[in-house]
Chain A
Amino acid sequence: MELLRDKAKSLLKSGAVQVVIGYAAGSATDRFRPHFARSADEADRLVFGDGCRQNLAVYLLKPEVRAMGKAAVVGGPTTLRTLLQYAVENQVSDGSAVALALEDGRVEELTSFAAVEEYLAQRPHGLSEEDRAELEQHAGRSREDRWAYWSGELARCIRCYACRAACPLCYCEQCITENNQPQWVPVASDAFGNLEWNVVRAMHLAGRCVNCGSCAAACPQNIRIDLLNQVLAQEAMTQFGAEAGYSVRKEYALSVFKPDDKETFIR
């Protein structure tokens, strides 16, 4: 904790950044909240612990935060991957944000995309054992079981769009669900409308999702929508070898045209 605070203070003091986006203590002992440290005093409120899971890279694109100046963002591998995915999608330019990578109480300052790539290259890729086991468990169920599960879960969706708001890669100025000419996604939060919304969301994140889990954590209905993203991430990996957020040179599989694409419909 002290290492993080000291690092934040030195970055702020030197003018290397104007804000450190980290976590502070929240409403309850097991809750943390995003915190914007712009002074030494504010840096002293930075904390880091097990519950600090929200992907803070989401704030890098917010006008209010951009207006503060250059930012350092605190996080783990998925936050770093977001940064690289932002680079791929031309949302953040090299050197315009600093990442403070936290691991086992140590803080590493990464000031370029190359440094982030190198850092991530030394760490395990893909799903954690836990996530993989969970996915396999779902995949092992019958089609009917899975349909029943998702029908039931998605029927509970209230369309508050907390998943979209918490997702750093859901940054569209105008989301397709709000496009009404034509109305692509049904507006009612009934089983069909919710299914359509959640499937469209998952599809748009296929090959882009960095598996931070912020969507599911944000869901007030506790729906495991991140599982949909994980399935599609696996699929994108299998089909295109595309794993989001490990390289700034990786193209987004679903928006790249290649003459030798294996699908015939595209040629």
Chain B
Amino acid sequence: MSESSILQRASLGAWLEAMGRAGRRVLAPVQEADRVVFGTPSAPEQIATGFVQTPGSAKSVVFPPFDEMLRFRTNGEDVHVEEPSIAAEPTVLFGVRPCDAASFATLKAVFTWDSPDAWVESRMANLTVISVSCTQCDEYCFCTSVGGGPGSTQGSDILLTPLDDRRWLVEVLTEKGRAAAGLAPQLFAPANGEAASKEKLLAQVPVRFEAKEVAGELPSLFDHPEVWKEQSLRCLGCGACAFVCPTCSCFDIQDERVRDQGTRLRCWDSCGFRLFTLHASGHNPRHVQSERWRQRVMHKFSYQPERLGVTGCVGCGRCSRACPVDMNLGEHVRRLSEMSV
């Protein structure tokens, strides 16, 4: 349902205001001291634009670092339990990269397959994603290896492509996108052939491997005696990769209590942590780091494609930028893809 139009950058403030008036919370990458983080911009000038990628992902919008699942108060023998509302605030996520827009498909697959998670579902249903095409990339980007691209419309409700310093090419892609654009229709001018120039404006992201092929080949490498150990030898077993990843969604459930009151929390967790799979008996099915690294790769590039029909990676490169020891996912998966030929 893609419809193209032109939006002046100077009109962004008016559009955001219209969104606010319509009761939508706006989240966007904003410059905060020396870093770009997702926050609510108080003015359009606050929205960061020059970055290749934000250090943290936008997944917190639907899957925050911790969620209160329940609140309770014990009362003698009985327990008084309160549940959080499933209702989510209508939110516009503005200015994310196409890879981040694509990541919501993976999150959705995880949280809605078989037993739907009502919170994540509700937050997704209330989320409008307005992404901006990439005109630059860096050595960590590999979206084109995992079915995405610097101008990919996958997962976006509206995609903006910078035509020049003053204008965006606007592609309205979904009903939600149409509703968001419809909040200030006067701001959108017809695109007279400019849509054709989109491809030329985009960053050139080299293809390192084909995720679809890798998915088929990885199972045969599971028992490889060397590669997982070699690739993970320097891995420190922290959770930086998983926590900055836009699609990593593993979590822990823990209770906190102060005297007779408490909460049940869902917190981000990582398959890289030793304790992740440790049994109470002391047995650990993935007891060395190489097995945990293999799980990370297999989960994203083999299990999720096979079980959920999605790739668990959008090639944003955050894990590799954040890794304290320069574990480079794109490089490692390319190596695996070369081995399996």
- Direct touch of chains A and B (CB < 8 A): yes
A166-B238, A178-B275 in contact; A218/B324 too (CB < 8 A)?
yes
Interface residues on B, range: 35 or more
Residues of A within 8 A of B265 (CB): 187-188
The answer to whether A186 has its CB under 8 Å from any CB of chain B is yes
Instruction: Select from chain A the residue with minimum beta-carbon distance to B319.
Output: A220
Is the CB–CB distance between A218 and B326 below 8 Å?
no
Chain B 234-279 interface residues, beta-carbon cutoff 8 Å to A: 234, 236-240, 242-244, 252, 254, 256, 265, 267-268, 270, 273, 275
Residues of A within 8 A of B35 (CB): 221-222
9 inter-chain pairs at a CB distance below 8 angstroms, sorted by A residue, are A26-B326, A31-B326, A158-B268, A160-B239, A160-B243, A161-B239, A166-B238, A187-B267, A220-B240
1/0 contact trace for A186-209 toward B, CB 8 Å? 111110000000000000000000
Instruction: Select from chain A the residue with minimum beta-carbon distance to B244.
Output: A220
1/0 contact trace for A209-244 toward B, CB 8 Å? 000001001101110000000000000000000000
Instruction: Select from chain A the residue with minimum beta-carbon distance to B325.
Output: A34
The answer to whether B195 has its CB under 8 Å from any CB of chain A is no
Residues of A within 8 A of B244 (CB): 158, 160, 220
Q: How far is the CA of A162 from the CA of B66 in the complex (A)?
A: 18
A28-B139, A160-B270 in contact; A33/B325 too (CB < 8 A)?
yes
Is the CB–CB distance between B234 and A36 below 8 Å?
yes
1/0 contact trace for A65-99 toward B, CB 8 Å? 10000000000000000000000000000000000
Is the CB–CB distance between B242 and A64 below 8 Å?
no
The answer to whether A133 has its CB under 8 Å from any CB of chain B is no
Instruction: Select from chain A the residue with minimum beta-carbon distance to B233.
Output: A36
The answer to whether B56 has its CB under 8 Å from any CB of chain A is yes
Is the CB–CB distance between B238 and A158 below 8 Å?
no
Residues of A within 8 A of B229 (CB): 64
**Min CB–CB distance A74 → chain B (angstroms):** 13
Is the CB–CB distance between A164 and B268 below 8 Å?
no
Residues of A within 8 A of B138 (CB): 28
Q: How far is the CA of A179 from the CA of B318 in the complex (A)?
A: 30
Is the CB–CB distance between B56 and A188 below 8 Å?
no
Is the CB–CB distance between A27 and B320 below 8 Å?
yes
- 5 nearest CB pairs, A to B: A218-B324, A165-B238, A33-B326, A165-B236, A220-B322
The answer to whether B90 has its CB under 8 Å from any CB of chain A is no
